[in-house]
Amino acid sequence: MTIRSEQRLTVLQVLPALDSGGVERGTLEVAEELVRRGHRSTVVSAGGRMVNRLMASGSEHFSMPIGAKSPFTLRHVPAFRRLLLHVRPDILHVRSRMPAWIAWLAWRSLPAEHRPRFLTTAHGMYSVNRYSAIMTRGEKVIAVSNTIRDYLLQNYPALPEDRIHVIHRGVAPETFPYGFQPTSSWKSKFLADHPRAAGKPIITLPGRITRLKGHPEFLDLMNSLKNAGVDAHGLIVGGAAPGKERYLRELEADVASRGLSEHVTFTGHRRDIQEIFSISQMVLSLSRKPESFGRTVLEAINLGVPVIGHDMGGVGEVLAQLFPSGRVPPGDAEALCQQVRQFLEHPPEVPQNTRFTLQEMLDKTLDIYDALTGRGGETTTPINTAA
């Protein structure tokens, strides 16, 4: 299908839910940019706390539970097919594996002349199997970092390199402005709500409560600092998704058994991450497996807050370019503790970031939409991804 340049686009983005996380934020940001440019933005997900913001900014949301990793989820293929015929998108942009299967099976069942252009974004280093291979079926495949591009090329040799487009995630300078400081009223309330952090250097570990985010390593660090007489306070900022409550209880029990209750606070899910980062002495990224990008690292650096993270994956990629002294070898608890103590004793200056901006990410994404539909002067021949 070729779109005339004067027509506006209808884009349908597809993901499991709109609750929290980098995939969700990226979806919302692209949706808002589409509306700002006069296009029609539609999203399919199971819903979540971000839906109100999505719709308030002018997008349409269609609720469909297509994220569960179960064969029973395939029962939604006919409904998704009907949705495609109803919405008639020019671009079908999928961002997660199970929703991608639902979308692709529905898309493949349409007559060729009614199919939108099919685009995938690989947000993670998925397990290598046929199930994950659906993310390589896009006519164009967006990789959110060089780390993801290299992973795809290594593990899916049938994917041509020229179909992969690296578009790093980005942060808006006005959302995370360099040198930002919260209002005195916010700071007073936060420290009143979390009095154990008052008057101490704050070390923050952001991220949802899952076993991959490095919470045990963080507690080991806080225990080592306590034993060394360093009176710092650790904030674990992130909520426990349904099914992760037991893990949260395990972490809380570990804090109590080590005598860390005065040194560690669980804040739960917070919307004021900008303010929390800005009062932190440093922000950590301690994921046990390589991250696809490391958005929280970029957010903190944008504010001018030092970051220490494992030198691997997207986190290592961002730190290498923006704040090299924040890199530590993965799994090296001693190196982590030494670097944290060094930053506490001699706070480093963080250079102002001019890379990985949100607008660059949005421009490149919409350039791909234009290229697929022929709006940007480049008409892309549809690739047969139906086989």
Residues 6+ apart with CB under 8 A from 371: 140, 378, 380
Q: How far is CA 303 from the centre of its chain?
A: 18
DSSP string, 48-99: -TTHHHHHHTT-EEEE----S-SGGGGGGHHHHHHHHHHH--SEEEE-SHHH
Residues 6+ apart with CB under 8 A from 68: 98
Place of tokens 């046990």: 288
Please list the rounded mean pLDDT of every run of 10 residues in the chain (387 residues): 62 94 92 98 96 97 94 96 98 97 98 96 95 97 96 96 95 93 97 95 94 94 97 94 87 96 94 96 95 91 97 94 96 97 97 91 97 75 68
Q: At what angle do helices 215-227 and 245-257 cross, to 10 degrees?
A: 10
**206-260: per-residue pLDDT in tens?**
988 988 899 999 999 999 999 999 999 999 999 887 778 899 999 999 999 999 9
CA 206 to CA 276: how far, in whole Å?
Answer: 10
Q: Give the helix, strand, coil percentages of the chain, each rounded to 5.
A: 45, 15, 40
CA 64 to CA 69: how far, in whole Å?
Answer: 14
Amino acid (one-letter) located at 75: R
Domains and CATH numbers, the chain: 10-170+358-373 (3.40.50.2000), 184-345 (3.40.50.2000)
Helical (H) or strand (E) element with 321: helix 313-322
Helical (H) or strand (E) element with 253: helix 245-257
Whole-number pLDDT of residue 2? 38
**85-139: per-residue pLDDT in tens?**
999 999 999 999 999 999 999 999 999 999 999 999 999 999 999 999 999 999 9
377: left (phi > 0), else alpha (psi -120 to 50), else beta? Answer: left
